[in-house]
A and B are shown apart, each in its own frame.
Chain A
Amino acid sequence: MATALAAGTPAPDFSLHATPDQLVSLSDFKGQPVILAFYPADWSPVCGDQMALYNEILSEFQRFNAELLGISVDGSWCHLAFTHDRKLHFPLLADFEPKGQVARAYGVYRDHEGTTERALFVIDAGGVIRWSYVSPVGINPGADGILRALEALGQEPRDGGR
């Protein structure tokens, strides 16, 4: 089984479709923290799934000037429909062709299932992975680990608290 890239590793750059005609690259966000949230698939059948949860707390991530990017192997049309349905306010990237290439680069592709792990990476402003976590695939990891990792970057929240 692949091992997720660990803290201290430079984050591999990538360019993926956020919409059918828009590409997003990790390097677009140099100078600010980035949260990569790999998840197995759009349309998971629970309310308050992982992406919906993050959507509710985007303002908390923004206090750290952090950009959240969701990534799965679903295609960009699928992401578009999912984004509209769940009213998501952050990009979902399509690791679709070649399938799972970015997930493989981060060590979080599941060959047998053909999906990514449920994996989180917090990347600092200099492009280095500062925290990574692979959750049991059936368990939504929540957001507490992300917030602790952002705090550990030593960057003060912008407004000094609510």
Chain B
Amino acid sequence: MAADDRAQLTTKVSDRDHAEGAADAPVTLVEYGDYECPHCGRAYPIVKEIQERLGNQLRFVFRNFPLAELHPHAQHAAEAAEAAAAQGKFWQMHDALFEHQRALDDKHLIGLARSLGLDEARFTSELESHAHQRHVRDDFMSGVRSGVNGTPTFFINGIRHDDSWDLETLTDALQAAIDTRG
């Protein structure tokens, strides 16, 4: 398939995103994911390993794509991560959610917030009032408009990665993107 046929990210990475790694890293990996999706759960340690391997050459961005009809806790889990972000602990919550994928009801979400040392009252109130629903929906729709076709979907420097996301394949694709940039 020609390069310009491939789906492209329509919403650029910006300040509203959660990113690990330098903004001027030669390669940016964007994941659209769902905290209750078992495939995303399998991708989680793979991305961690790739971050180790590529170090400061990689910037990683996570956007929410909860498949709420399929996964009853996915929407609230995504909002919980955003509520943690409001207290400066997005990545800690992101990791905790993927490490506790089978227990994502509200009671457990609040338990995770507590264990991360978040302001529990604020966290609970934001979760109950759906304070971050809009942010999650905006992520979701940016994914839909970019050709996200399931979870997880990855974009490498703005181009959808249609190949497998096993460790070696994804690492090679990212390395190729780095090499292209010279």
A contact residues vs B (CB 8 Å cutoff): 46-50, 52-53, 55-57, 60, 86-87, 89, 136, 139-145, 147, 162
How far apart sit A136 and B147, CA to CA, in the bound complex (Å)? 14
Contact assessment for A50 and B1 in the assembled complex, using a CB-CB cutoff below 8 Å: no
Residue numbers of B with Cβ under 8 A of A are: 1, 7, 10, 34, 37-39, 65, 67-71, 137, 140-141, 144-151, 162
A53 close to B147 (CB less than 8 A): no
Residue of A86, A89, A140, A147 touching B150 (CB-CB under 8 A): A140
Which of A47, A56, A87, A140 is packed against the most chain B CB atoms within 10 Å?
A47
Give the Cβ gap from A32 to chain B, nearest Cβ, in Å: 21
The 8 Å CB contact of B145, one of A49, A50, A147, is: A147
Docked CA distance A147–B137 (Å): 16
Complex formed: what's the CA distance from A87 to B37 in Å?
A: 16
Are A139 and B162 in touch, CB under 8 angstroms?
A: yes
A48 close to B37 (CB less than 8 A): yes
Whether A57 and B70, one on each chain, are in contact in the complex, defined by CB atoms closer than 8 angstroms, is no
Sample (5) of A-B pairs whose CB atoms are under 8 Å apart: A46-B150, A56-B67, A56-B68, A86-B70, A143-B147
Cα–Cα distance between A87 and B146 once the two chains are bound (Å): 25
Report the minimum CB–CB distance from B148 to chain A (whole Å): 6
Question: Which of B38, B68, B145 is within 8 Å of A47, CB to CB?
Answer: B38
Contacts of B38 in A (CB 8 A): 47
Nearest CB on A from B144, distance (A): 5
Instruction: Decide: B7 and A142 in contact? CB cutoff 8 A.
Output: yes
CA–CA, A53 to B137, complex, Å?
14
Known: A136-B1, A139-B162, A147-B144. A52 touches B70 (CB 8 A): yes
B70 and A144 within 8 A (CB)? no
B7 touches A144 (CB 8 A): yes
Q: Which of A48, A50, A139, A147 contacts B70 (CB 8 A)?
A: A48
With A56-B68, A56-B69, A142-B7 as contacts: A48 and B151 at CB distance below 8 Å = yes
CB < 8 Å neighbour of A139 from B10, B71, B137, B149: B149
Q: Are B144 and A48 in contact, with the CB atoms below 8 A?
A: no
CA distance A139 to B155 in the complex (A): 15
- Tell me the nearest residue of chain A to B36, going by C-beta: A47
Q: Is the beta-carbon distance between B144 and A57 smaller than 8 angstroms?
A: yes
Check if B150 sits within 8 Å of A48, measured CB to CB: yes
CB distance from B35 to the nearest CB of A (A): 12
A144 engages B144 (CB within 8 Å): yes
Most chain-B CB neighbours within 10 Å: which of A139, A145, A147?
A139
Nearest-neighbour CB distance to chain B for A86, whole angstroms, equals 7
